[in-house]
Amino acid sequence: MRRLRWHDYITTNIYWLGLMTVLQSNGLIVPLLVQKFVGPEQQATAFGRLRLYTLMVALLVQTLIGILSDRSTLQWGRRRPFILVGTLLNMAGMIAIGLSPGYWFIFGAVMLSQIASNIAHGAEQGLIPDLVPKDHRGRFSGIKSVMELPVPVIIVALTIGNLIAEGRMWTGILVATSILFLSMTITMFVREEPLREPPGPLDWKPFGRIVAMTLVFLIVILGLGKCVEGISSLLDNVDSVTTLLVVMGITGLLAMITTVVGGVWACVHISIGREKAQRYSSFTWWVINRLAFLVGATNLSAFAIYFLQARLGLEDEAAAKPASQLMMVIGIWILLCALLSGWLTDRVGRKQLVALSGVAAAVGVLVLVLVPNMTMIYVGGCIIGAATGTFFAANWALGTDVVPKEEAGRYLGISNLAGAGAGAVGSYIGGPIADYFTVHVPQSPGLGYLLIFAIYGILFLLSAFVLIQVQEVWKPKS
């Protein structure tokens, strides 16, 4: 490998800034538009349905692009052509979201944006394994974590969130797409080395396995979602709020745990085959760890607007500003801890920091839901932010260690079971639970969101527990 220079830390990771700025912006725009189109009684269910199908398509696209970019022989580079195409399509998707006149139109617009994002995402995540030696990957992963979450969150809170709260949605969309385009332009200066030898004939079996993996994961989520819906229908005549909380809480928790563990195990075996799944069993458990943590982290953010509206009595776009400010507070702590943990992972190891982040995030959720005021919500957000910053740097470094280097794009693409699957699992199963309490316990409109947030907190603890099965290959330097 060529000698690393200071600007390589930026050019290798800057695209995450643009990609995640668009994602964070959509996290404010799309829930408000869905609420406008379907009303508060069905908003979480409709939002969860949208996220399920768009994220499942994203899972398929990202994994396929990982495989294709692994095999790319273009002299321009293996990854950058996909990043360029994905960016241009994503900008078109953002314009379509802003023009949406109804629920199914925005459904299609978000689908386009997700496909485009994951064309670029599937290629971008191969840059660190391609270009960075193992003993520097912790630091590069730390910078990746900074670009991936805290910096775009802070940008969105200070600019786009305020614009949306003021009713200037189109200006916010323009700012987000401009940042995406600029970050893509800088990424084009990455010095990739094309493959020296063309790969052999394309084996179509991995494509079939990926399609089967996606369908199986979708079926698992749909099936368990129907189970939750069926059990909730049996409780229509129950008057005890405590009984409703216990039954719906246990049902939702078991459904999410079954999806996280059983769904990942089945999908990894399908996608890479039984023999490789056994050989790289740590990879399977790493994906489970990542999915369990991200179900909590992703959906706390996704439902933030609805949570603040119900919990604090805020209306419509008024929740966009405090939601973005909360994300900013979280982002600052992610920034501080991602930088520190990126350095620590190269010195003390990965697993300890990943496990600590799961436990700390669960504590943060507990604080978040205890008291209905912004002060305690900010305190809980700080703890969750610190945990998430630590997790992103340490977990990704752990993942790049446990995947085979020659197929890094393919394996890390499969790991999007965690990235895309987190939003699908937590929102499709959790959304109807939140709406159930909005309809059946109208005197406590935030109760459903408190319940699903508590479930996400337990999943943080699960993410730490399953690390027992991951064999860390990292060794301290002598």
475 pLDDT tier (thresholds 50, 70, 90): low
In the numeric block, the tokens 């949306």 are attached to 164
Report the distance separating Cα 326 and Cα 381, nearest Å: 7
| ∠ Cα 406 412 416 (to 5°) | 160
Sign of torsion over alpha carbons 204, 209, 210, 211: positive
What is the token pair recorded at 360? 């700390």
Question: Band of the pLDDT at 478, cuts 50, 70, 90?
Answer: very low
- Give the count of beta carbons closer than 10 Å to the beta carbon of residue 79: 27
Determine the straight-line distance between the first and last CA of the chain, rounded to whole angstroms. 22
Distance of CA 421 to the CA centre of its chain: 8
Amino acid making up residue 305 = I
Residue 145 is predicted with a pLDDT of 74
Using the 8-state DSSP alphabet, how is residue 313 labeled? -
Max mean pLDDT among 127-131, 208-212, 382-386 falls in 382-386
pTM for this structure?
Answer: 0.82
How remote is the C-alpha of 351 from its chain's centroid?
20
Picking from 365, 433, 325, 355, the residue whose alpha carbon sits closest to that of residue 24 is 325
Residue 1, pLDDT > 60, answer no
Q: What's the average model confidence in pLDDT over 209-234?
A: 88
Model pLDDT for residues 278-313, shown as the tens digit of each residue: 787 888 898 999 999 999 998 998 898 999 888 888
CA distance 433 to 227: 12
Phi and psi at 189, nearest 5°, equal -90, 0
Are the CB atoms for 261 and 461 separated by under 8 Å?
no
Mean pLDDT of 57-80: 83
Single-letter amino acid code for the residue at 370:
L
CATH number 1.20.1250.20 is the correct assignment for the domain at 8-192+205-469: yes
Among 46-60, 330-344, 409-423, the minimum mean pLDDT is found in: 409-423
Model confidence at 476: pLDDT above 60: no
Closest residue by Cα to residue 61 from 118, 19, 145 = 118
**DSSP-based three-state secondary structure for 78:** coil
d(CA 369, CA 428): 21
Cβ within 8 Å of residue 339, ≥6 positions away:
142, 146, 389
DSSP 102: S
Closest by CA to 462, choosing from 317, 299, 291, 243, is 291
CA gap 452, 467 in Å, rounded: 24
Residue with the bigger pLDDT between 369 and 197: it is: 369
Is the sign of the CA dihedral 212, 218, 221, 226 positive or negative? Answer: negative
Q: Residue 208: how many CA atoms within 13 Å on its side-chain side? A: 5
Please state, in angstroms and as integers, the Cα–Cα distance from residue 329 to each residue in 103, 146, 388, 409, 452, following that order.
31, 14, 12, 33, 22
